[in-house]
Amino acid sequence: GYAEACAKAGLSLVLVARRQDLLDQAAEELATGHGVEVRTLSADLTAPDAAIEVIAACDGLEIGTLINNAAYSQPGAFLDYRLSGVDKEIAINVTLVAHLSHHFGASMKQRGRGAIINVSSMTGELVMPYFALYCATKAFISHFTEALWFELKDHGVDVLAVKPDQTASEGYLAMNPGDWGDGIQSVEDCVRISLEMLGRGPESIPWPASHDHLNHVRSLSKEEAIALSGEGMRQVFGNAVGAGD
Which residues form the catalytic set? 134
Residues 6+ apart with CB under 8 A from 222: 127
Cα radius of gyration rounded to whole Å, the chain: 18
> Amino acid identity, residue 29?
E
Contact 181, 158 (CB under 8 A): no
> What's the per-residue H, E or C state across 108-174?
HHHHCCEEEEEECCHHHHCCCCCCHHHHHHHHHHHHHHHHHHHHHHHHCEEEEEECCCCECCHHHHH
The C-alpha atoms of residue 162 and residue 209 are separated, in whole angstroms, by 15
DSSP state of 15: E
Q: Is 10 exposed, middle or buried (0-12, 13-18, 19+ CB in 10 A)?
A: exposed
